[in-house]
Amino acid sequence: MADTEPDPPPPVRLWGGRFESGPAEALARLSVSVQFDWRLAPYDLLASAAHARVLHTAGLLSDAELARLCGALDQLGRACQEGRFRPAASDEDVHTALERGLLEQAGSLGGKLRAGRSRNDQIATDLRLYLRDHARLVTSRLAELEDALIGQAERHLGTAAPGLTHLQHAQPVLLAHHLLAHVQAFSRDASRLRDWDKRAAVSPLGAGALAGSSLAIDPEAVAAELGFESAAENSMDAVSDRDFAAEFCFAAALLGVHLSRLGEEVVLWSSHEFGWVEIDDAYATGSSIMPQKKNPDVAELARGKAGRLIGGLTGLLTTLKGLPLTYNRDLQEDKEPVFDAVDTLLVVLPAMAGLVGSLRFHTARLGATAAAGHALATDLAELLVRRGTPFRDAHEVVGHLVVWCQVHDCELGEVSDDDLAKISPLLTPDVREVLTVDGALAARASRGGTAPIRVAEQLARLRLAVEEQAAWASG
């Protein structure tokens, strides 16, 4: 009838030939992955164009066919980008959707592209391409956070702060030293992603379903075209290996753990009890009932999101455990954890960079409490050691002095000459010369120590390292 819609074309399936019936609704619902793997479309198209060229080199496509196929892939890429081509409900996965699109553009010629490859080597390739790109994106955002921390450290090269162990006052440190400790961890995360990239730079294409191909296609040529260092040495490993995904999730989870430590510290520092820092309004939230509240939600979300990053890694490892070679459909479960890791980091990192960059430290309070809790006691004990007392005895003597100060509610330097002498003859009046925060800081000039001179050197090295990371990420 003229006013009824024509029947929709039958769904494209990549494996329909030997089946008499279509898939059950429940199977289709279970196995569909296009709702999350569609983001791989640009990479799948890239790999398809590279594959077309090796088919051509192998004499399996004529010049004209290659030109038409590449043109059609180009058109399809543009249509995807502009949203004119979208996956349909009936498309099983990104490969199915793109084959449908290619057949629409190039007609039956599109079917020639299937020669010599399988979705098994295709999906492994797509995911590696996606992740290698996004590892760089994550590293760029990470470098911005490191920059923000380094900027604060530079502003606070002269700010003393309490150094804590067990969350108790321990020894004074430079605030810059503390901030740079976080940068050290983040910088290892960045170099971990870079190391990961070396192992991820292996192309699975050419493995076919699992055993390689009888066609004269050159896996090394596709690998080079796609920016990989080499083609896989073992086709069975190529289609079953997901180490690259698990290792990426580990790097992301550890970065998440590092972000959670920084988040936790900002939460503590901004509390009334610590009073170390003021969060900028742009990076704080209010309460719907308590008008006075200013909450550190960015830091809390950074802390909280470590949970899903660790969960993604744990889930993926559990999926991979015990899988027989080679491809099994379980492997389709590899994508959501890595996508979620990327998405999570790409929202957390910029927010943390903004938060950190706009923190205002209460330097007077930090300085005034830097030596609180008798935090110069170690300096005094080490002075006695330099004068020849065994550390064990020095520790004991200074311990007595600390108790004396606690009982009399005073600081180490406030004890009179007579009282010092009563506690121990080793405590001569001149021991007070080491009881200053500046002196204690300057004295810790060993490698890695908190002395201003060491911290300035550390800062300069980290600046270079972060510049290098950023250059790698954008190169």
Given the residues 31, 62, 230, 287, select the one marked as catalytic.
287
Write down the least CB distance from residue 114 to ligand ARG, Å: 13
Q: In the Cβ-directed half-sphere of 127, how many Cα atoms lie within 13 Å?
A: 29
Q: Indicate the pairing of strand 202-203 with strand 360-361.
A: unpaired
Given the residues 166, 214, 288, 446, select the one marked as catalytic.
166
Write down the least CB distance from residue 339 to ligand ARG, Å: 12
Query: DSSP states of 219-244 as a string?
Result: HHHHHHHTT-SEE-S-HHHHHH--HH
Site string for ligand ARG, 12-51 (x = CB under 6 A): ---------------------x---x--------------
Q: Could you count the other beta carbons within 10 Å of the beta carbon of residue 378?
A: 17
Nearest CB to ligand ARG, comparing residues 170 and 317: 317
> Does 148 engage in binding with ligand ARG (CB under 6 A)?
no
Residue type, 396: E
Between CA 275 and CA 12 the distance in angstroms is 63
Only segment of 74-82, 119-127, 246-254, 336-344 that touches ligand ARG (CB under 6 A): 119-127
> Does 386 engage in binding with ligand ARG (CB under 6 A)?
no
Q: How far is CA 474 from the centre of its chain?
A: 16
> Does 120 engage in binding with ligand ARG (CB under 6 A)?
yes
> Does 329 engage in binding with ligand ARG (CB under 6 A)?
yes
Between CA 425 and CA 444 the distance in angstroms is 26
Between CA 164 and CA 276 the distance in angstroms is 13
Q: Could you count the other beta carbons within 10 Å of the beta carbon of residue 195?
A: 12
Only segment of 161-169, 329-337, 345-353, 411-419 that touches ligand ARG (CB under 6 A): 329-337
Write down the least CB distance from residue 447 to ligand ARG, Å: 49
Query: DSSP states of 287-306 as a string?
Result: -SS-TT--B-HHHHHHHHHH
Nearest CB to ligand ARG, comparing residues 93 and 189: 93
Between CA 334 and CA 320 the distance in angstroms is 9
Total binding residues toward ligand ARG, as defined by CB under 6 A:
10
- Residue 414: DSSP 8-state: G
Only segment of 135-143, 306-314, 323-331, 393-401 that touches ligand ARG (CB under 6 A): 323-331
Nearest CB to ligand ARG, comparing residues 119 and 374: 119
> Does 57 engage in binding with ligand ARG (CB under 6 A)?
no
- Residue 173: DSSP 8-state: E
> Does 332 engage in binding with ligand ARG (CB under 6 A)?
yes
Q: Could you count the other beta carbons within 10 Å of the beta carbon of residue 410?
A: 13
- E strands, 352-401, in order: 360-361
- Residue 358 annotated as catalytic: no
- Residue 287 annotated as catalytic: yes
Write down the least CB distance from residue 335 to ligand ARG, Å: 6
Nearest CB to ligand ARG, comparing residues 93 and 147: 93
Which residues are marked as active site?
166, 287
Residues that bind ligand ARG (CB under 6 A): 33, 37, 93, 119-120, 123, 327, 329, 331-332
